[in-house]
Structure 1
Amino acid sequence: MSQTRYAEVAKHLIEGIASGRYPVGTLLPTEFELCELYDVSRHTVRAAIGQLQSQGLVSRRKRVGTRVEAATPRAGYSQSLASVSDLVHLAETQVRRIQRIEHFVADTAQARRLGLNPGEHYFCVSSIRVDQDHPTAPLCWTDVYAPKAYADVIELAEQHPDELIAALIEQHYGLHIDVVDQQVRAVLLSAQIARELNAQEGAPGLNIQRHYRDDSGALMVVSETLHPDDRFTLTIQMRREKAPKG
């Protein structure tokens, strides 16, 4: 799927909602109808609808359809993240602006906090992510840590600001992200982070630490992201396990 193609579909639908072609309270065409209309796959349509959902424009209900909830996008994102693909799509809807790059040897405190190996060489790419429609209110500050062996990806991260660094490592080095362990905790924004994100010092924030591991369980990447509380909502869906039949 071309990122440009689904972004084009999303842009066209957003324009249709803003113009009143799809009024608030009505349903968008079905996935099948959108596939026919834009001559794209269902996967592309779902990615486009996901982008509208992330901006608060639509909601989706099983057996009902996609309902228009607002005429204009809201600042920030509400994301339902259930797979690595969801994380990749999330990165594609934002732009990374690298602030600094650091090479270091992990000390005991860093290793304990981030799950790194003490005494080993790593690099860190620090950046802010912005929604191009709201450039004055950055969505988050992210520090991405990876082993020195993957340092060639730094140049790729600069060339492809809309791609997840973990995904770039996966592509460039022929690896496969098998699992992502995620820890979420509430924090207060420090003076430095608040200044970088145009937020208020001491305001509530969300800290998300993710560990990306390959098929063998080896650590590929650690990311630590800080979101002001009014710019990001993480939605996690849980399902009850079905009892075995018999």
Structure 2
Amino acid sequence: MSRNQNQPKYRAIEDYLRSRIISGEFAVDTLLPTEEMLCARFGVSRATVRTALSNIQADGLIVRSPAVGSRVIASTRRRAFQAGWNSVEDLLQHTKAVSLHVQAINEIVMGTGMAEDVGFAAGRSVVRVEGVRWNEFETDQPICYVEIFFDALYNEISPRIGTAGLPIADLIEDQYQVRIERIKQEVSAGRLAPATAAMLGAEENASSLIIKRWYFDNNDRMFEMTRSQYPADRFRYVVDFGRSSDDAPRA
């Protein structure tokens, strides 16, 4: 199979799948080839295949589920960002598929009110990162405003944030060998404040979705927290449920 040798491997997989979804060869409500099949076909790692699938999912063409696979849900790209995370690995792949445009990085001390919301103890020194995230295929507008807080013990990664092409959690793991073992997530509705709306190019006081996440290491110690705010028309979360083997109908 021929392909541009200068093209990233994941891009070749994306082009292959996207063109066949658009043409109808991979029709709506059918499953894409499995990760194993794509690994064998393109001679790449599972991580490379997952990056390609994550980008196609971000276009709103597929939804992914560990129990089912990658199912086609549309043949044309949607304007809203769509996600369907089922594991820590899925979430990290998503974070790698979007770019963080940093507005500010500051070391701060947690006040009482902020500590209650963020989760670090009052008086604790943390690094606060403020910025917007863009999907690489949605260059006309950012998909969300984000604040990221992490323990100031890891502040040596600060110069690499937004330039290394890696999530902050990966930078921390790379430099300090602190690995995410679990993530707690909270989703709520909100309104866009004027300053946030201006950064996103959105309407002031418009409806939004707020996603907060707390990241814990193998000692169940929280070391990072993120708060993302999406304009309502720029985000869609999809979960595809399947029955577990224990719930299979009995004869």
Between the aligned partners of 1:179 and 1:170, the Cα distance in structure 2 is 14
Q: Partner residue of 1:70?
A: 75
CA apart distance, 1:60: 6.3
**Structure 1 residues 233 and 63, CA, compared in 2 at 3 Å: closer, same or farther?**
closer
Return 50-59 or 128-137, whichever deviates more. Answer: 50-59
Matched letter for residue 77 of structure 1: F
CA apart distance, 1:234: 2.6
Kindly report which structure 2 residues correspond to 1:36-75, keeping only aligned pairs within 5 A, or say none.
Answer: 36-41=40-45, 44-59=48-63, 66-67=71-72, 69-71=74-76, 73-75=77-79
Between the aligned partners of 2:64 and 2:172, the Cα distance in structure 1 is 33
Matched letter for residue 222 of structure 1: M
**Structure 1 residues 191 and 148, CA, compared in 2 at 3 Å: closer, same or farther?**
same
Between the aligned partners of 1:176 and 1:75, the Cα distance in structure 2 is 34
2:239 corresponds to 1:232: no
Q: Partner residue of 1:10?
A: 14
Return 167-176 or 58-67, whichever deviates more. Answer: 58-67
| Deviation sequence 1:125-174 (CA, Å, 0-9, x none) | 1110112222221001111101211111111213224x221222122110
Give SS of 1:169's match: helix
2:87 corresponds to 1:90: no
Between the aligned partners of 2:118 and 2:25, the Cα distance in structure 1 is 46
Q: Partner residue of 1:119?
A: 123
| Deviation sequence 1:173-203 (CA, Å, 0-9, x none) | 1011111111111001111111110111111
Counterpart contact for 1:166–1:220, Cα < 8 Å = no
Counterpart contact for 1:23–1:68, Cα < 8 Å = no
Return 58-67 or 87-96, whichever deviates more. Answer: 58-67
Between the aligned partners of 2:150 and 2:70, the Cα distance in structure 1 is 41
2:144 corresponds to 1:132: no
2:105 corresponds to 1:101: yes
2:191 corresponds to 1:188: yes
2:206 corresponds to 1:208: no
Between the aligned partners of 2:87 and 2:120, the Cα distance in structure 1 is 23
Give SS of 1:150's match: helix
Return 25-34 or 107-116, whichever deviates more. Answer: 25-34
Between the aligned partners of 2:52 and 2:39, the Cα distance in structure 1 is 11
Between the aligned partners of 2:68 and 2:117, the Cα distance in structure 1 is 45
Between the aligned partners of 1:114 and 1:135, the Cα distance in structure 2 is 30
Kindly report which structure 2 residues correspond to 1:155-170, keeping only aligned pairs within 5 A, or say none.
Answer: 155-161=159-165, 163-170=166-173
Identity, in percent, stands at 25
Give SS of 1:143's match: strand
Give SS of 1:88's match: helix
In structure 2, the gaps of 5 or more residues are 1-7
Give SS of 2:233's match: coil
**Structure 1 residues 37 and 151, CA, compared in 2 at 3 Å: closer, same or farther?**
same
Matched letter for residue 120 of structure 2: L
Q: Partner residue of 1:217?
A: 220
**Structure 1 residues 184 and 29, CA, compared in 2 at 3 Å: closer, same or farther?**
closer
Q: Partner residue of 2:179?
A: 176
CA apart distance, 1:69: 2.2
CA apart distance, 1:114: 0.9
TM-score by length of 1: 0.83
Runs (4 or more) in structure 1 with deviation over 6 Å come to: 60-65, 238-241
Counterpart contact for 1:123–1:148, Cα < 8 Å = yes
Matched letter for residue 200 of structure 2: L
